[in-house]
Amino acid sequence: MTNDRAHWDNAYRTKWTDQVSWYRAHLDVSFELLVEAGLGPRSRVVDIGGGASTLVDDLLDFGVQSITVVDLSPASLEIARQRLGARAARVHWLVADVTALNLREGSFDLWHDRAALHFLTAPEAAQAYVQTATRTIAPGGHAVIGCFAADGPERCSGLPVVRRDPADIAALFGESFALVESRREVHSTPGGVQQCFAYALLRKVGL
């Protein structure tokens, strides 16, 4: 975890926020799927690997009152806090490894991730991720998971990734979740490179 944190801190400290390859002005597909999952002012939302993403801005604009942003990199979260100004006090910022999150059972109605799962290349790390999500998502809650698609890049920020299509994401989560909707997105990096993303909207149906 320490080495990963140093890697991501360096990425955010050596490039402008809008120059990193994963930058998007707004996470449109993510937000649409969150709304489809029932996003509202009272939703308890967690953004895994949220970093400096503007999703938190859009959630606040939407009136969401309970937002947690989790990231390994303190530098990335500080960028988001500075951008939000006084509004940052309305968000719970958590520097943590998602595979070791220690939060109470059923903490969240909506789990969002466009940045973390595909970096968990070890099967045991991916399973720990799923166990954390399963424990902390409330019954009937949803997960919106975005990752590099099967035809997406094999590496990001110099690190290897695991590529998955929506059915693969659903299979990873197992019978406790049902696949509600699948999406694809062609993301254009600030450098003009096209990257294919896959999204799965999952509903928690099991214990």
CB 39 within 8 A of CB 112: no
Fold (CATH) for 2-204: Rossmann fold (3.40.50)
Give pLDDT tens digits for 137-166: 999 999 999 999 999 888 887 789 999 999
* Distance linking the first and last C-alpha atoms of the chain: 29
Token code pair at residue 71: 């990231």
Confirm if 46 and 110 have CB atoms less than 8 A apart: yes
Joined together, the tokens standing for residue 123 give: 């099967």
Residue 112 has pLDDT above 80, yes or no: yes
- Number of Cβ within 10 Å of residue 18's Cβ equals 10
- Strands 177-188 and 194-204, how do they pair? antiparallel
pTM of the predicted protein model: 0.90
Q: Where are the domains of the chain?
A: 2-204
